[in-house]
Amino acid sequence: MPKIIHAISGPRNISTALMYSFAQRPGCEVIDEPMYGVYLKELDPDHPGKEETLAQWPTSVEGVEEWVRSFDQCQELYLKNMAHHMDGQPWHWVEPSAYLFWIRHPRKVVQSFTKVIDTIVPKDIGLLEEWDQFQQLQHGNVPVVVVDSDEMLANPARNMAILCQAIGLAPREEMMNWPPGKKEYDGPWWPHWYANVHKSEGFGPAKAMPQPLREDHEAIVTATLPAYEALYNHRLQF
């Protein structure tokens, strides 16, 4: 089996750009949100692209495990996963070489997420689940690394090299750029979420902190900020 990097984040956390970055590594394959089909089948949320995802993605943990294990010819495998997709699910289907938690201030996440789905609850942005999962993994024998996305974007070339070393990978210059447009490994939900990242060819600067959001959206920020701050205290410092 390849060296597996299990990346866990919430949505709107430059997670797709990061997947594109890792996909440029020679010998590295990626999987876009392998547990999303399971999540959609069990919780049945009204998400754009749901029917396409249920038709194309595994809808059982056993199916996800079989899919992951089929990547047995590559050297590295990067799993882009959402923390809330993993909530309450078993972890035996993946044997990672490292866990990589990506975090971003919840106000930035909520502002971006609600451009597509207006009515949300804290679970939709995954920070509470990330903090819970981070705590569960503290007594394992593989690296567990937390990275603030905005801090990484302050100097991508330098900071990505530091990150790779922290999770046991050799830094690669190829990770700084990728071709624009749709990728063959994009999940079926891409038309609803990936328009901006499809215009990119590399990492851009972090966006400024938005002003306080409308009341119901700001309530999500308030509910998830303690989890973000707790994870931030454990972050990899560049």
Asked whether residue 8 is domain-assigned, the answer is yes
User: What is the mean predicted confidence (pLDDT) over 144-153?
Assistant: 97
pLDDT of residue 26: 97
The answer to whether the beta carbons of residues 36 and 86 sit under 8 Å apart is: no
User: What is the mean predicted confidence (pLDDT) over 185-203?
Assistant: 96
Asked whether residue 237 is domain-assigned, the answer is no
Would the pLDDT of 140 be above 90?
no
pLDDT of residue 138: 87
Q: What confidence tens digit (pLDDT) does each residue in 101-122 have?
A: 999 999 999 999 999 999 999 9
Q: Which of 89, 58, 81, 71 is nearest to 27 (CA)?
A: 71
Would the pLDDT of 151 be above 90?
yes
pLDDT of residue 117: 92
Asked whether residue 17 is domain-assigned, the answer is yes
User: What is the mean predicted confidence (pLDDT) over 86-98?
Assistant: 94
Domain count, the chain: 1
Alpha-carbon distance values, 123 to 145, 211, 213 (Å): 22, 22, 18
Q: Distance (Å, rounded) from C-alpha 35 to C-alpha 24? A: 23
- The chain-wide mean pLDDT, for the chain, equals 96
Identify the CATH number of the domain in which residue 156 sits.
3.40.50.300
pTM for the full model? 0.96
Would the pLDDT of 1 be above 90?
no
User: What is the mean predicted confidence (pLDDT) over 71-79?
Assistant: 97
Asked whether residue 133 is domain-assigned, the answer is yes
State what percent of residues in the chain have pLDDT above 70: 100
Give the pLDDT band (50/70/90) at residue 152.
Answer: very high
Asked whether residue 238 is domain-assigned, the answer is no
Q: What confidence tens digit (pLDDT) does each residue in 195-231 have?
A: 999 999 999 999 999 999 999 999 999 999 999 999 9
**Cross-strand partners of 31:** 79
Q: Distance (Å, rounded) from C-alpha 35 to C-alpha 231? A: 22
Structural domain of residue 129, as residue ranges? 3-232
Q: Distance (Å, rounded) from C-alpha 163 to C-alpha 147? A: 8
Q: What confidence tens digit (pLDDT) does each residue in 9-44 have?
A: 999 999 999 999 999 999 999 999 999 999 999 999
State what percent of residues in the chain have pLDDT above 90: 97
User: What is the mean predicted confidence (pLDDT) over 54-60?
Assistant: 98
Asked whether residue 186 is domain-assigned, the answer is yes
Would the pLDDT of 161 be above 90?
yes
Asked whether residue 55 is domain-assigned, the answer is yes
The answer to whether the beta carbons of residues 163 and 152 sit under 8 Å apart is: yes
